[in-house]
Structure 1
Amino acid sequence: MTVEEGSPVTEVGTSAGTNRQVLLVVHTGRQDIVELARSCAARLARAGIGVRVLEEEAGALCIEGAHVVPADAEAADGAEIVMVFGGDGTFLRAAELARFSDAALMGVNLGRVGFLAETEPEAVEETLTAIERCEYRVEERLAIDVDVLDCEGTVVAGTWALNEASVEKAERSRVLDVVVAIDGRPLTSFGCDGVLFSTPTGSTAYAFSAGGPVVWPDVEALLLVPSNAHALFSRPLVTSPNSVLTVAIPADGNRAQVSADGRRALEVPDGGRVDVRRAARPVRIARVHESTFGDRLVAKFGLPVRGFRDSRTHDPGHELTRSCNVLTRGFVTVEPREEGCGGGTGEHA
């Protein structure tokens, strides 16, 4: 799950030299992560950048001089960067906090795969240098809005997702009957374990595990991926980003629920439906290191790229050009614009 070449680039909107703020979101369950976050906070402070920490994490972090803020919708207001220390789960939690601000997310991968994170722990110093010098780009990720409607067509609940929203059966022992519609027109129906609505970002997450396609992050599209469907026509669908994707649940069928990014759950009323559309507000992610989405796929999945015979005698991924392999922490320097951080044109990081 990454944003690379071709994605929209915007500016952070905070100029070097002003009162710059960075919010830290940390997986405090591991001491090594806590210590890394502390050292990064100290360096940011020495550079004159204010550091914020979440109220629920402040006790574990014990960062002197940090501004403690509640973990709510205003946590990232006025912040330039939300720096995330952890895996993709921590990144998704941070995305909730940055959702309605202009802050850009920048992740340090301390999990297992970490598709969303920008950098590995060994490259943190280069990442901090980029923040201090405003040498990074801000790219926008398509997000989705989710509406839950009752049998009368009234919206009774709603949420959003960066990766995916899944409509799942509430009872494991029963099949979930669904009707799939695109832009208000019925397309097909089948029994299944569930249906996933995914963004290109989420194409390498839950949707990938369910057999969906890998979609490059600069492709604007919505994905619908059936999960264990009892039907011949149950292939993943890739639609226009302007489409409205619908899954309706028959009133006499199994109960259903919605899970958004695995973090927020909603109940679907009997005979209700779920509508998914492109969110008006994208998620902003800061990029520093030189890599392409293809590089990340090779590195994260250990893909052989020369041939199965050659890969028998070499480690997977050994064929990657060293100058652009994400595992070598290649660092790209972008001349900052005078009016603010995160700008610039030319090759995408």
Structure 2
Amino acid sequence: MTPSDRNILVVAHARRDDTVDAAGRVVSALRQAGARAVFSRDDRDDLEGAFPLDGVGTLGEDVAVDEIELAIVLGGDGTILRAAELVRGGTAPVLGINMGHVGFLAESERDDMDDAVRRVIDRDYRVEERLALSVRVKDSTDAVIYETWALNEATVEKASRERMLEVVIEVDGRPLSSFGCDGVVVATPTGSTAYNFSAGGPVIWPSVEAIAVVPLSAHALFARPLVVGPEAPIAIEVLERTSGVGILWCDGRRSHELPPGARVVVRRSSEPVRLARLHPPAFTDRLVRKFRLPVTGWRGPAPEIS
């Protein structure tokens, strides 16, 4: 691949002035390096007139997803999830530059953006594969009626605030428990610091291959968060006695209605999500920094400098 053939997807939260300015700087830096910036059609339309778009490609029109080398994301975790969706089906890693608040998935902050782009141009990064979920919905006849995927979590929730969802949980082909609840979160290690965290689920280090199952406000004696092996399929059945319908949400971006009798099967996806990393994988440091955890009084050794 010659430099002029390098296609870098730029995904920006285009409704914020600082992010639009940053996108213009990234496009300029890529152009000067002989690489081509690429936008989704929606982002390109939103950025029209903000800065020159000559020579910029459009994903799915003149640039295919498997021609993308890497995605640079300017925004928070929601924008990073959108970028992961855009490059799904290709092999491009995603590099997040946090322009928001927590930005747990981001690798760099806005003040380090120019250095991050330089390292992308120099291919000075490593790629980390993160476990993703494959999600199928079956109807009462066991026919597959919907398929999708998730990087953070798949959540089965009640669609109506007044009504409880009646479900039965299955792990590795065996029934575990049935109860009424507000919903059930099935999360990856990547998603363990997102909805799973808010619901009281465990934080799982990215190097641990596991899936968390967390009931939401369950009316049951046994409704604790579970951590299961990545190869064990998890099924959540919406029982026929449920009044009304449920809804499946994946990463808060894709949804599907679940009538009584629907069965949601979640398992490890054969396609991981690739994240570009610029720094050593010190997940503990990331937790402390992002959640501002107190560590005063720690007397451990200073980190080794490699």
What TM-score range do you get, normalising by the shorter chain?
A: over 0.9
Deviations 1:21-55 (A, max 9, x none): 10111101101110011111111111111111222
Q: Does 1:194 align with 2:180?
A: no
Q: Which runs of 5+ in 2 are unaligned?
A: none
Question: Aligned equivalents of 2:123 and 2:59: distance in 1?
Answer: 27
CA distance in structure 2 between the partners assigned to 1:65 and 1:89 by the alignment:
28
Paired position in structure 1 for 2:40: 54
Name the TM-score, length of structure 2 as normaliser: 0.92
RMSD value, Cα: 2.2
- State the shift of 1:232 in Å: 1.6
- Is the CA contact (8 Å cut-off) linking 1:16 and 1:134 kept in structure 2? no
Name the count of aligned residue pairs: 301
Alpha-carbon deviation of 1:126? Answer: 1.6
| Cα distance between partner residues in 2 of 1:321 and 1:171 | 52
Q: Higher relative contact order by CA 8 Å / sep ≥ 6: 1 or 2? A: 1
Corresponding position of 2:192: 203
Q: Write the distance in 2 (CA, Å) between the matches of 1:48 and 1:82.
A: 16
- Paired residue for 1:281, among 232, 254, 271? 271
CA distance in structure 1 between the aligned counterparts of 2:55 and 2:285, rounded to whole angstroms: 36
The secondary structure found in structure 1 opposite 2:67 is coil
Matched residue, 1:173: 162
What's 1:314 paired with? Answer: none
Aligned with 2:223: secondary structure? coil
Q: 2:7 aligns with which of 16, 21, 25?
A: 21
Q: How far did 1:306 drift?
A: 2.8
Distance 1:134 1:323 in 2: 26
User: How far, CA to CA, are the matches of 1:40 and 1:131 in structure 2?
Assistant: 11
Question: Do the aligned partners of residues 71 and 229 (structure 1) sit closer, same or farther apart at CA in structure 2, a change above 3 Å counting?
Answer: farther
Q: Is the 8 A contact 2:40 2:59 kept in 1?
A: yes
1:43 maps to what in 2? 29
8 Å CA contact 2:166, 2:241 repeated in 1: no
Is there any run of 5+ residues in structure 1 with no aligned partner, and where?
Answer: 1-14, 311-318, 325-331, 333-346
The structural deviation recorded for 1:171 is 1.4
What amino acid does structure 1 have at the position aligned with 2:113? V
Residue of structure 2 aligned with 1:239, choices 220, 228, 249? 228
1:270 and 2:260 equivalent? yes
Q: 8 Å contact 2:59–2:65 — kept in the other structure? A: no
Name 2:107's counterpart in structure 1. 118
Contact 1:88/1:115 (8 A) holds in 2? yes
Pair 1:201–1:32, CA change in 2 (3 A): same
User: Alpha-carbon deviation of 1:214?
Assistant: 0.2
After TM superposition, the structure 1 = structure 2 runs for residues 120-159 of structure 1, keeping only pairs within 5 Å, are 120-159=109-148
Structure 1: distance between partners of 2:123 and 2:17: 29
- Choose from 140, 157, 160 the match for 2:149: 160
Is the CA contact 1:56–1:70 (under 8 Å) kept in the aligned structure 2?
no
* Cα distance in 1, alignment partners of residues 40 and 164 from structure 2: 42
2:284 to 290, 294, 304: 294
1:99 aligns with 2:82: no
Matched ranges for 1:212-251 at <5 A:
212-251=201-240
Give the deviation of 1:134 after TM superposition.
1.2
Cα shift at 1:323:
7.4
CA contact (8 A) 1:76 1:82 kept: no
Tell me the secondary structure at the aligned position of residue 252 of structure 2: coil
CA deviations on 1:68-122 (whole Å, 9 max, x unpaired) are 32568x7533111111111111111111111111111001101111011110011
- Could you tell me the percent identity over the aligned residues? 46
Q: Deviations over 1:106-159 (max 9, x none)?
A: 011011110111100111122122112211001101000111111111111111
Q: Match of 2:17? A: 31
Query: Match of 2:180, as an amino acid?
Result: G
